[in-house]
Structure 1
Amino acid sequence: MHRSKGFITGLVIAGLLGLGEIITLLAGNGETPPVEVAAVGAALGLITVVALYPAWRGSRGAITAIIVTRLLSAVTALPAFFVDDVPGVAVAAAAVGVVAALAAVALLATRLRRPATVPAT
Structure 2
Amino acid sequence: MSRTFRAGLIAFGVLSVGDLVTPLVTDGEHPPMAIALVAAALGLISLVLVVFAWRGSRRAAVPLIVLRLVSALGAVPAFFEPGVPAAAMFAAGFGIVLTIAGTALVLVPARELAGAR
TM-score, with length taken from structure 2: 0.89
5+ long unaligned stretches in structure 2 = none
The alignment of Structure 1 onto Structure 2 pairs a total of residues equal to 116
Q: Given that residues 12 and 102 in structure 2 are in contact (C-alpha distance below 8 angstroms), is that contact kept between their aligned partners in structure 1? A: yes
- Structure 1: give runs of 5+ residues left out of the alignment: none
RMSD over equivalenced CA pairs, Å:
1.7
1:18 partnered with 2:21: no
* Higher relative helix content: 2
TM-superposed CA distance for 1:115, in Å, is: 2.8
Q: Provide the rounded CA distance (Å) in 2 between the counterparts of 1:6 and 1:110.
A: 7
Work out which of the residue numbers 28, 31, 34 in structure 1 matches 2:32.
Answer: 34
2:61 paired residue among 54, 60, 63: 63
Residue type of the alignment partner of 2:49:
A
Deviations 1:13-51 (A, max 9, x none): 100110111111134322221111111111110111001
Q: Which has the higher contact order (CA 8 A, sep 6+)?
A: 2
Give the aligned partner of residue 115 of structure 1: 114
Deviation sequence 1:59-82 (CA, Å, 0-9, x none): 222111210111001100000011
Q: Give the share of equivalent positions with the same residue, in percent.
A: 44
With normalisation by structure 1, the TM-score equals 0.86
Paired residues of 1:47 and 1:65 also in contact (CA < 8 A): no
